[in-house]
Structure 1
């Protein structure tokens, strides 16, 4: 299976590198937030009670990296829908390639692209906004982003193969992603000092909220076993469930 995974991974990476413009296009949304929303976020973080401790840029940068994975990986299924329409999925049914390898090769390629984009965001924030995260925190954040990308890409591919509709796919994603974004604390941390109690209670059921808190903790160099541990456990559970769903869908579709 490792060889099959490598072959699919290399194919998807080659397709992405032939058109690197899409990598830069994926960076546009977090960069716009960084430049147009970041200055206001930093001011609010300095003067508003209830914000987590730390510089505003240090709180915003890891959250935007999670946002990059949230939106970039969730729309990965569009590529699979194009392959399905072109008959690529149909041709793969007659090959001896492992069905799980088909999924893993694709999601690993997506994760690598997301990590590369995340590194570019950190480098830009380092030079322009003078952030100073510890090296261990950067590595931990990249691991979190990679796992989150694998999780969301697996769900995206599974959903795409389930509905097989390029019209319904973006509508479903937009309906799901917007509340996940608003309740994750990416744009504003959802704490008891900032949010009303009812909104705080609803946000507690959003698993991405714990992933954002874990990425912020690692980026700030806070390696205590509170937000970081909870976020990592939640992310590991989501990754396992998402890969299981994606693998099962690929096996059923290519049976």
Structure 2
């Protein structure tokens, strides 16, 4: 006698061979490399690159002519042309402007949905900020290099420190741009709006610029302004960059800007990552 049952025949479990882990994404190094490359593609768009290159050159043209007569004052260093005195300072001031652009760019991406798209992927928030920092630092370095070349070809920039001195001044400016970029990215994660970032950053840049030794020696400033200029971080960076360009570098001056940059990054970078993670 045959017994019939309704139970289906046993089949091997097809899910046994399926992977049980979820894809966690690439490593942080790969993420930073890809995100940096994405931001660096701005170099392909002349509409984004040309204004960033022309703006500091136009400002250098104006200031080098307007304040040229200051080279005749008694407090001005003897035997130094004004363009040799001014251009290293302009490298530093351009670094501050470039750092502000990092914050503005991040607020723009927070509002146009790109960051929200990144959050839907297995991408670490720190990778997004580090990639932005690296790309913006490279872009600012390219702009500053163009400024040095234009200064030499058009304005007669020929400092006593030669090529090595100019390269050292450029390096200090790039370090400052990289470190201040973290400050403005932290601020952008709090403000979250480009229209709020630009005026605040502009005020900070204006105060640091004109209350420094960028255009005239500190000795030629009024007492109250001189006191502020002597503690202004931008003044220390300008002094180091200028001494390198003019071939008069002192170890005590050269150590201050890197130390300031390291302190800024150690404070601002964790703060930027923490505030960025809380953005919804």
Q: TM-score, normalised by structure 1?
A: 0.89
| Structure-2 residue corresponding to 1:10 | 37
| Structure-1 residue corresponding to 2:230 | 204
- Does 2:184 correspond to 1:156? yes
Contact 2:175 2:258 survives alignment (8 Å)? no
1:234 to 249, 260, 266: 260
Looking at structure 2, the residues matched to 96 and 41 of structure 1 have their Cα atoms a distance apart, in angstroms, of: 53
1:60 to 80, 86, 93: 86
Q: Which has the larger radius of gyration?
A: 2
- Does 2:156 correspond to 1:130? yes
Contact 1:136 1:221 survives alignment (8 Å)? no
Deviates more, 1:75-84 or 1:104-113: 75-84
What is the CA deviation profile of residues 52-107 of structure 1, one whole-angstrom value per residue up to 9, with x for unaligned ones?
45321111111111121211321322222222222211222232223222111111
| Structure-1 residue corresponding to 2:143 | 117
- Does 2:269 correspond to 1:253? no
Deviates more, 1:68-77 or 1:245-254: 245-254
Figure out how many residues of one structure are paired with residues of the other and give that number.
250
Contact 2:125 2:276 survives alignment (8 Å)? yes
1:48 to 54, 58, 73: 73
Contact 1:147 1:239 survives alignment (8 Å)? no
Runs (5+) with no aligned partner, structure 1: none
- Aligned alpha-carbon RMSD (Å): 2.0
| Structure-1 residue corresponding to 2:13 | none
Q: Give the secondary structure class of the aligned counterpart of 1:76.
A: helix
Deviates more, 1:90-99 or 1:55-64: 90-99
Q: TM-score, normalised by structure 2?
A: 0.81
Runs (5+) with no aligned partner, structure 2: 1-27
What is the CA deviation profile of residues 202-255 of structure 1, one whole-angstrom value per residue up to 9, with x for unaligned ones?
22232111111111111112232132222332233223333233233233437x
Contact 2:165 2:246 survives alignment (8 Å)? yes
Looking at structure 1, the residues matched to 140 and 91 of structure 2 have their Cα atoms a distance apart, in angstroms, of: 9
1:105 to 108, 131, 142: 131
Contact 2:179 2:262 survives alignment (8 Å)? no
Looking at structure 2, the residues matched to 96 and 118 of structure 1 have their Cα atoms a distance apart, in angstroms, of: 35
- Does 2:270 correspond to 1:244? yes
